[in-house]
Amino acid sequence: MAAKNISKGDRVALFYGCEIEAFEVIFATLRAGAAFVPLSPLLAPDALGAMVSDCEPKYVFCSERFEAIIQMACKDHDVPIIAKSGEYAGFIRCGDDYTASFAPVAP
Which residues, 6 or more positions from 1, have their beta carbon under 8 angstroms from its beta carbon? 82, 84, 88, 89, 90, 102
- pLDDT at position 25 is 84
- Give 13-50 pLDDT, tens digit per residue: 999 888 877 888 888 888 888 999 999 888 899 999 99
pTM score? 0.74
The one-letter amino acid at 61: F
